[in-house]
Chain A
Amino acid sequence: MQHPVLACRKVSRLYGARASEFVTDGHLTTDNVQTLQEAGITPAIFNVDLDIERGKTFVIMGLSGSGKSTLLRCLAGLTPPSAGKILFESKNLFEFSEADLIQIHRHQMGMVFQHFALLPHLTVLGNVAFPLEIQGRPRAEREEIAQRMIRLVGLEGREHRFPAQLSGGQQQRVGIARSLAGDPDVWFLDEPFSALDPLIRREMQAEVIRLQGMLKKTIVFITHDFEEAVRVADRIAIMKDGQVEQVGTAEELLVSPATDYVRAFTRDAPRAHILTARSIMTTSPSAGPFGGEVNATDRVISFARELDASSLPLAVIENNEIIGAIDRTMLLDILIGPETQAVGA
């Protein structure tokens, strides 16, 4: 298998005056969060293991203060972890020399910030061209690339505006264009849309999906909104108090939550949009008759009406074989939620 672009190996980051007392040779001396907290230390992230695969969108989720940003900053090489290793292309990211790290940042990583982080004294064009300017590229070249990026995010015609003259959504488009200007391999987005209102947020999510379809970057995306995660993610990590509770696809999290926390977290998720036929079907196939057929990988939402309208169950097909069946009661379970079912039973 291809090696992951980025990986965490027992990564921890501690904050607090006495933090260094609990680290020797890059390893934590305790596995007990309690001990740390009693010493007045905040383990912003604690013993995190992760693999981030090439060309996929990896979403980190969690409540405020759960350590998402800290983890992202470690992955991006901004904050060194207190213990553990970050592997970038299989090499320890924090063992690169300062000059090498600068080169990695210039050419292999890009970031979009929650509050846009636009430089107020530069125009849209200047902001987008900024990373290239830092690289010392000639003016004509960088402006041409910047223009292309601006077109990519649909801001053409506003090149000479200053950030203060743009709406929030437009500002974040500038942020996106800028983060892509250096043609990074890994694209970090830290809650990029949480400062935007819901309509614009949807539009921007679509934008990211569209760009990802074109550019095929490795994406690390932070959000605390499960719906957003579902829309963009290939895989999702759920964090709580600095620790990763579970990593998996949205469906895996829904169907087999590893902890109660994950279950509670995914409770209000739009299940019909996430679950596929396979995960809700009964595997003891009756011989029929069937009201129709669905693919095992089809999302529930795509056949819900059909199922609702038919009085017969639908057959679930994989490789032209019937592997299971779905009936209307299952649809209700999804819509009302498994808990109600549990209570009923």
Chain B
Amino acid sequence: MKKASALPAGVVFGKPVNLRHLPWLIIVILSVILAELPRTVFPRWVQKYPTGWRLSLADWISAFMHWLTVDAHLGPLTVSGFTRALSFLLDLPLQLASMVLATGVLKGQGSEAVMLFPPVPWFALIIAIAALSWTLRGWRLAVGMTIGFLYLAVFGQWTSAMVTLASVLVAALLSAAGGLALGLLCVRSATFGRLLSPLLDVAQTMPVFAYLLPMLILFGFGPVSAMIATVIYAIPPMVRVTVVAIQGVPDELRSLGSMTGCTRRQMTWRILLPTALPGLMVGVNQVIMLSLNVVIIASMIGAGGLGWDVLGALRRLDIGGGLEAGLAITVLAVMLDRFAQALVPDARRSGPSGSRSHHRVIAGALALAGLLWIAAALWPAIAHYPESARLSTGPFWNDLVSWINIHFHDPLDVIKTFMLLHVLMPVKRFMLALPWPWVVTVVTLAGLWMGGIRLALTVGLMCGFMAVVGLWQPAMITLYLCGVSVVIAMLLGVPVGVIATQRPWLMKSVEVFIDTLQTLPAFVYLIPIVMLFRVGDFTAMIGIVLYAIAPAIRYTAHGISHVPESLIEAGTMTGCTRGQILRRIRLPHALPDMLLGLNQTILLALSMLVITALVGTRDLGQVTYAALSKADVGQGVVAGLCVAFIGMISDRFIRQAIRQPGS
């Protein structure tokens, strides 16, 4: 209050204007003017970043990769020899998992391989898992798991699902364990944490396509590369969550550790990890979800499984088939997550769950599963779910999409045309018309104003990078596409989040919906969207919005519903209506959460770019994809870095905004 009145109050159209925002107003007006001016007004180098000034970073990276894979030595071993050895090691757990779940014990390779012992047949696995779930969390989990696995069997997804399950299991375990280890190191050494942090940022935002090629070169074509790519993608949240969870362990418990004479190791394993476990499980949940997110891409480099089925089905335009395989991925994600969460003993639940009869039932069920497995080895015919009892809803979905297409295309087209002509195209034109030096300057100034010289330098350099490597135009298209999508996702997501908190049942169904959207491979719904809206930016936008809306909803709902009860009561006592409580108390209080949601929405939108490239956008996602197709390692990495930088710039700004409330 005081601060505002201390400033000379400006008056525009008779209304007082807060002069704090004046610089921004000026910048916006200037931007509009600059964008509307004919291009020829500017000197050439302003219109377009001159090719001569370009940093040939892409070529250097390509050359470096070549050197690394061909000439570089680690002692007596070449680097690629080393990575191949690593890849051999990593292949072992993978093989073990797929032996049990998918291929069985094989002798020999390829078509000469002879199956010595079959993989777990579907009924045995269901019995074993159901029994375990029952001990861990009771019958509800058991029923849930059974239904999930039955879906896989009945809809004919079993074989592929087990291939995917095997690789995701190993990848998720590696990510969780690796993330935990890195997180612990970050806690132990702040320097290490500071060094790792930007790498994590990059790993989280860089499109997978960008590092697929180096991955293939170093680790070879096949499931191992796919797994490593998955781990890179899934590990950052685990590291972050670990750091937060470990640092969140109350000081008293650390003191307890010291007072009882814990060694370092005992401190970690007996005090820190067990008490941080509930927090760590949040990270595990993220790891599982992300691992299943890259199933499609992983299948492109030899992981096979459900991802491959989805691609194949969509290639045949078998939308129903794609959906069923895609839903199988979702089902796997949900089952894996619930099971992993159930593995954590719940201290709040009643004491030891071990009556003798209980144990006997479990032992019996496991023995039965084992016997059935052996039986399947003896009579291979029973091992497979009978073809004739398979269900498929494929034709239904295909017909549904066709029906919508035939009957609702025109009204949908009107919406699309409106959006395209009045929102997307103008924004795109505006963004592309802005001279690059201006944008870099504005971003730097914003950094200076919000966070000081350090932030200004960071964001300014990142922004400049895009011009310097010659990817300014695709970067701007990326910005426009993601920007519009994020705005729309927030416009839809925030109200949905607010409304959902008012009704518990609504919250439940919204949650199911967004969970599905997040784990269902985007390709599955992108193709029907293409049918309805054609190839182009609008389709890409819908895809991005659908994928990125989840955090907008989730964080808003979280923020709104976690306002302290006392604040609400204070509001009620001052005579606020429900609407006023919402506007005056809940929303302001939820603002930091909503900003975090915005941050996540932006990151998800960026990670969706790679997928939307597949329906014909011309942004950085497309550049990375095209680089992949030309085997141009450097270009892919550089474009990937640009995507990562856009994410990091917005992340830095938003974090700064959260740190200074009221701005």
Residues of A within 8 A of B (CB): 73, 76-78, 102-107, 109-111, 113-117, 119-123, 130-131, 133-135, 160-165, 179, 182, 188
Contact = CB atoms under 8 A, between A and B. Distances in A.
A330 B217 CA distance: 96
Contacts of A123: 351
B263 interface: yes
Contacts of B277: 121
A102 B348 CA distance: 32
Interface string B227-263: 0000000000000000000000010110110111111
B261 A119 contact: no
A114 B255 CA distance: 12
A24 B347 CA distance: 49
A156 B171 CA distance: 46
A110 B259 contact: yes
Contacts of B266: 134
B262 A134 contact: yes
Nearest to A73: B255
B259 A76 contact: yes
B138 interface: no
B352 A134 contact: no
Interface in B423-475: none
Contacts of B261: 102-107, 131, 134-135
Contacts, number: 74
Contacts of A103: 261
B280 to A, nearest CB: 12
Contacts of A109: 259
A134 B270 contact: yes
A110 B262 CA distance: 13
B650 interface: no
A121 B256 contact: no
A260 B167 CA distance: 73
A1 B347 CA distance: 51
B62 interface: no
B347 A164 contact: yes
Given A105-B259, A121-B277, A134-B262, A160 B271 contact: no
Contact of A162 (B263, B270, B347): B347
B189 to A, nearest CB: 18
B347 A111 contact: no
Question: What 8 A-B pairs come out closest when comparing CB atoms?
Answer: A106-B261, A105-B261, A117-B252, A131-B260, A111-B259, A162-B347, A102-B261, A117-B256
Contacts of A106: 260-261
B275 interface: yes
Nearest to A159: B351
Given A103-B261, A121-B275, A182-B260, 9 more contacts: A102-B262, A114-B252, A116-B252, A120-B347, A131-B260, A133-B270, A134-B260, A160-B352, A164-B348
A3 to B, nearest CB: 23
A164 B278 CA distance: 14
**Chain A binding surface, main DSSP class:** mixed
Contacts of B262: 102, 134
Interface of B: 250, 252-253, 255-256, 258-263, 266, 270-271, 274-275, 277, 345, 347-348, 351-352
Nearest to B257: A134
26 contacts: A73-B255, A102-B263, A105-B260, A110-B259, A111-B256, A116-B252, A117-B250, A117-B252, A117-B253, A117-B255, A117-B256, A119-B256, A119-B271, A119-B275, A120-B275, A121-B347, A130-B270, A131-B260, A133-B270, A134-B260, A135-B261, A161-B351, A162-B351, A164-B347, A182-B260, A188-B259
A282 B270 CA distance: 62
Contacts of B345: 121
A164 B348 CA distance: 6
A113 B277 CA distance: 22
Contacts of B274: 119-122
Contacts of A182: 260
Contact of B252 (A107, A115, A122, A161): A115
A153 B406 CA distance: 78
Contacts of B352: 160
A110 B256 CA distance: 9
B145 to A, nearest CB: 24
Nearest to A107: B261
B260 A113 contact: no
B254 to A, nearest CB: 9
Contacts of B256: 111, 113, 117, 119
Nearest to A106: B261
A47 B266 CA distance: 35
A121 B277 CA distance: 9
Contacts of B271: 119
A117 B262 CA distance: 15
Contacts of A114: 252
A106 to B, nearest CB: 3
A162 B275 CA distance: 13
Interface centre among A107, A134, A163 (most CB of B within 10 A): A134
B348 A78 contact: no
A201 to B, nearest CB: 19
Nearest to B260: A131
Contacts of B258: 77-78, 105
Interface centre among B256, B270, B274, B352 (most CB of A within 10 A): B256
A160 B347 contact: no
A78 B260 CA distance: 11
A184 B270 CA distance: 21
B490 to A, nearest CB: 37
Nearest to A115: B252
B255 A111 contact: yes
Contacts of A119: 253, 256, 271, 274-275
A106 B258 CA distance: 9
A110 B258 CA distance: 10
B351 A163 contact: no
